[in-house]
Each structure stands twice: as C-alpha cells, then as structure tokens.
Amino acid sequence: MKTLIKNGRIITAVDDYKADILIEDERVSVIGSQLNMEADQVLDATDKLVIPGGIDPHTHMELPFGGTESSDDFRTGTIAAAHGGTTSIIDFAVQYKGQSLIEGIDNWHKKAEGKTAIDYGFHLITTELEDKQIEELYTVMDEGVTSFKMFMAYPGVFLVDDATIFRAMSAAGSRGGLICMHAENGIVINEIIKRAIEKGHTAPKYHALTRPTVAEAEGVHRAIAIAEMAESPVYIVHLSCADALNQVRQARDRGIAAFAETCPQYLFLSIDDYGEDFNGAKYVMTPPLREKSNQTELWKGLKMDDLQVISTDHCPFCMKEQKELGRDDFTKIPNGAPGVENRVPLIYNGGVVESRISLNRFVELTSTAAAKMFGLFPKKGTVAVGSDADIVIFDGEKEQTLSSKTHHMNCDYNAYEGRRIKGVVETVLSRGKVVIDKGEFKGKYGDGKFLKRGTCVSI
Ligand code: URP
Ligand code: ZN
Ligand code: ZN
C-alpha cells in the first residue's frame, strides 16, 4: 500500500519545509519536492501542517481508582486520542501490593490487547520492590516496559517509602530505565485533609486547598535528591506549579538529570475553576489546579526546557455515578479528568497561536521529546525516512469549540467546555493507515500494536 501526501508544510522538532511524503506500508519511504510516484491514495495537504503523530506518555485507561474505574477503556480512549492527533499513548499498568511486576504488566496486556486504535506502551506503577524483585524489574525492562511510576502520595494505596524509591532508581537507572515520580508529600497532605474534614470542609474546592504547592515542591526536591544519591535520572510527572518547577530548574542548573512533564490542565485551568459547588468535582485531579500565576511560570519552563514534555494524565470519570461518589466528601471524588483528545490542539492554540512557543517546540513538546524520553525515537516522534508513518495533517487556521457534545472521550463533561480554539486535526495516519479522515474515525480498533520500548535517549 502506497500513500502520497502532497504539498504539506512539514514541521518536526527541528525542520520546517514544504515537501511531499511517500509512505510505503507502515513507514515513510521518500520525502522530496514534487514527488510523482504512483500511489494507492493521494492526500492533499496544501496549506496544512504535516506533523508527527502526538505521543501522550501519561494516560490511565480502565484504571480502577477510588471505588470505580476510569471511564475510557483502551478502545474508546485510543479512538478519542486519534481524533485529537495522538498516535501513541503510554498507559500506566499497575503492580498492586502482593503482585509480581510481571503480573501487573500481564493484566494490562489483557486489558489493551485487541482494543486499541493506535499504538500503545506501558509504564509500570510499582508499589513494592524488594531486593529479590530486582531481577524481575530487569525482565520487565527487557520486555519493553522501561519506565516505572512511583508515588509519594495516596498513602495506603500507591505510596512507597524512600527506601523503595532508592532501590528502584538504582536498579532501573543502572540499565537506562527511568523512574516517573508522582511527587507530593501525601503523608502531610493526609493530615491537612483530616483537619479540613473535621471543620466540615467537604466541597470539591477543598481538594485543592488541602494540597499546597509546597507539598509538591517537597516531593520534587526529595525525588531529585534520591535520584542523585542513586545516580539515576528522574522524571517528574504532572508537574503543576512554580514551586515544584523551581526545584527541577535548580537541579538541572546543577547538571542533574531531572526531567519533568506538565499537562494542559495546569496551563489553561486554575483553582478558580473549582467554584463553590459540586461542579468543581470535574477538576478534582492530583495535583490540583493552582493559582493562575503558576501558568506563566510553567510556560517559561516549557520554553526554556526545564519542562520537556506535555502529557495529559488522561484519567476520566463521569460526573454521573462516578464523581458523584464524593458529593458529600471531596476525599471520595475519584481523582482525574479527561484530556487525551484535546492536548495537541490546545497546545497549538495556547502555545503557537498565542505566541508562547514556536511551531518546532510545539512538535517537540507534544511528540518528539516523549519519544526520546521513553525509548521510541526515531521510530516515533518525527517525520523522517524510515520512521513509522504516524502523521497528522493539521489545519492551523480552522477553529473549533471544545465540548462534551462533540468529543469522543467516554466522559460526560469536557474540562474545557465551550473554549474556542484555532487548530483542527484533519487527517491522521497510524503506521501508514488513515485512522481519522476529515474528523471521521476510519481506523479499526485492534489495529494498535504494543510498543516494546527501548531506553531514554534524552541524556
Ligand atoms: O488525578 C489524577 N492525576 N489521577 C490519576 C492518577 C495519578 O496520580 O496520575
Ligand atoms: Zn500521579
Ligand atoms: Zn496519572
């Protein structure tokens, strides 16, 4: 099967030029001007941007959490991702306490297999790691799961102690693996929450008011210090605020291999969105939304490479029957929000259209950097000869209004409801196959392949 993309403006993390692209089967085979080879289909990209498919390295499909399960499964979630110009996700498998690491991975393979519309990989949430399990960690890495998430938050559920973090960092780091850290002092936060509940502070906004930025900054500082002692890199997930960013910045200035991602919700939403009533449950996610002033600092961090990646932390729960579990007590609201479909257009609009970042940096933040960080580059994350033909034809002039009425995520609200933005995903190819054509899903769920990842090439 041959596909020719004609007359597009190709943008990668480093290039910006007009050319045609010939795709043969799953890969890009030729890039050049005025190509006139025979092809089975020709896609006209005149006046459009041609960018590498987005990579979202932080999603939670079908995640059991807070007495319920995130509402997108691997079918609905990956179809929604494709609509939004994302062609690879890295989801978080879970090793629950008492399970082996391999059991955790196997369980996620069972959830995803035969269901995804785009390619997918896994990180492993690791809740226990004794010395005797280190060999198993290496086995997991050999099977293409080369990054592990550990939590300093959620005591009694996911939280691990510093000794476990140190062991994991030493082991993973020695083989080029990466620890992804949920950095928040969950122990102190729980004490603050107890006091709030005693005072009858049960509305959603108290989720934010009981998780101060200093609790996140302390977690980031500790994670980086442990990584330094373990002589390993560290990647901070869903960084939300200036206090935490400053910890990363200071470490990087000292030459420490500290990396971090932020998410659209911390760039475009703020603590004001919680309001006074239960509608604020839509934004109960961890870390919580912050004071607006943090947004400027996060954009600065993205521009100056103190933040390298923009993921979503897509973890949707419907208001009906799910968020409602915490109607009388914010601690019972399942944590998380939808976003996988909106990331690429939101960052294009807020970043490029609003002149905060260049087109190249937009591509780097939404695709290339994640590919390099998580061992997928150059198969993924760029438009180049030999790379997978994961390509988005993007209309940078057309506008859209974000809404739950039109989105494809299995969630009864959109966190950006009514927001008018410039930038629309027109056509999406996943390994050479058109999966989105003028906004219509033309792919097949089950066509997505598991991504056996290598190690980080960002250092
Ligand atoms: O609120 C969030 N972020 N839910 C998903 C779990 C996590 O901590 O990433
Ligand atoms: Zn987390
Ligand atoms: Zn998450």
Determine the Cα–Cα distance for residues 5 and 383; give it in Å rounded to an integer.
12
Q: Say what the pLDDT of residue 338 is.
A: 98
Number of the ligand closest to the Cα of 287 = 1
Of the candidates 252, 293, 318, the one whose C-alpha atom is nearest the C-alpha of residue 458 is 252
**In this predicted model, what pLDDT tens digit does every residue of 26-49 receive, in sequence order?**
999 999 999 999 999 999 999 999
Q: What is the pLDDT of residue 298?
A: 98
- CA 30 to ligand 1 centroid distance, Å: 41
Fold classified for 53-373: TIM Barrel (3.20.20)
- Does a cis peptide bond (omega within 30 degrees of 0) precede residue 287? yes
Per-residue pLDDT tens over the stretch 408-449: 999 999 999 999 999 999 999 999 999 999 999 999 999 999
* Centroid of chain to Cα 353: 22
pLDDT band, very low/low/confident/very high, at 304 (cuts 50, 70, 90): very high
Distances (CA, A) of 427 to 52, 83, 181, 356: 12, 9, 34, 26
pLDDT of residue 402: 98
Q: Which helix (H) or strand (E) holds 165?
A: helix 162-174
Which residue CA neighbors atom 7 of ligand 1 most closely? 286
Ligand 1 center to 130 CA (angstroms): 25
Looking at residue 459, its pLDDT comes to 82
Tokens 């990363």 belong to residue: 248
Give per-residue pLDDT as tens, 258-286. 999 999 999 999 999 999 999 999 999 99
| CA of 180, nearest ligand number | 2
Give residue 289's identity as a one-letter amino acid code.
Answer: L
Q: Which atom in ligand 1 lies closest to the alpha carbon of residue 149?
A: 9
- CA-nearest residue for atom 8, ligand 1, is 286
Q: DSSP H helical segments within 182-255, as ranges?
A: 186-198, 205-209, 213-230, 242-253
Residues with CB under 6 A from ligand 1: 60, 182, 238, 285-286, 313, 315, 335-336
| DSSP structural state of residue 3 | E
Rounded to the nearest angstrom, the distance between the alpha carbon of 219 and the centre of ligand 1 is 15
Residues 236 and 248: their CA atoms lie apart, in Å, by: 9
Minimal-distance CA residue to ligand 1 atom 5: 336
H helices, E strands: number in the chain: 13, 19
Confidence bin at 317 (pLDDT 50/70/90): very high
250-260 confidence digits (pLDDT tens): 999 999 999 99
pLDDT in tens, 58-103: 999 999 999 999 999 999 999 999 999 999 999 999 999 999 999 9
What's the confidence (pLDDT) of residue 291? 98
The answer to whether residue 238 scores a pLDDT higher than 90 is: yes
Q: Which ligand ends up closest to the CA of 58?
A: 3
116 Cα–ligand 3 center, Å: 19
Reported as type and span, the H/E element at residue 299 is helix 293-303
Return the CA Rg of the chain: 21
Distance of CA 413 to the CA centre of its chain: 19
Instruction: For the chain, give the percent of residues with pLDDT over 70.
Output: 100
Q: Residue whose CA is closest, atom 9 of ligand 1? A: 313
CA 348 to ligand 2 center in whole angstroms? 25
Residue 187 has pLDDT above 90, yes or no: yes
Mutate to test the pocket of ligand 1, among 60, 61, 127, 269 (most ligand atoms within 8 A of CB): 60
Average pLDDT across the chain, whole number: 98
Whether 42 contacts 6, CB under 8 Å: yes
pTM: predicted TM-score of the whole model, two decimal places: 0.98
Testing ligand 1's pocket by substitution, the residue of 152, 285, 332 carrying the most ligand atoms inside 8 A of its CB is: 285
Helix (H, G, I), strand (E, B) or coil at 331: helix
Q: What is the pLDDT of residue 188?
A: 98
98 CB-near residues (< 8 Å, 6+ apart): 128
pLDDT in tens, 322-350: 999 999 999 999 999 999 999 999 999 99
β-sheet bridge partners, residue 440: 437
Residue 237 alpha carbon, nearest atom of ligand 1:
9
Every domain of the chain and the residues it spans = 53-373
Half-sphere exposure of 162 (CA within 13 A, CB side): 14
- Distance between Cα 57 and ligand 3 center (Å): 10
By most ligand atoms within 8 Å of CB, the mutation choice from 274, 335, 411 for ligand 1 is: 335
Phi and psi based region of residue 438 (left: phi greater than 0; alpha: psi -120 to 50; beta: remaining) = left
Q: If you measure from the C-alpha of residue 175 to the centroid of ligand 3, how many angstroms do you get, rounded to a whole number?
A: 24
Cα–ligand 3 centroid distance for 16 (angstroms): 33
3-class SS shares of the chain: helix, strand, coil, % to 5: 35, 25, 40
Please tell me the number of the ligand nearest to residue 57's CA.
3
- Pairwise CA distance, residues 202 & 332, whole Å: 10
Q: Which residues contact 403 (CB under 8 A, 6 or more apart)?
A: 414, 417, 418
Q: How far is the CA of 211 from the centre of ligand 2 (A)?
A: 13
The protein residue whose alpha carbon is closest to atom 4 in ligand 1 is: 336
**Would you place residue 145 in the very low, low, confident or very high pLDDT band (cuts 50, 70, 90)?**
very high
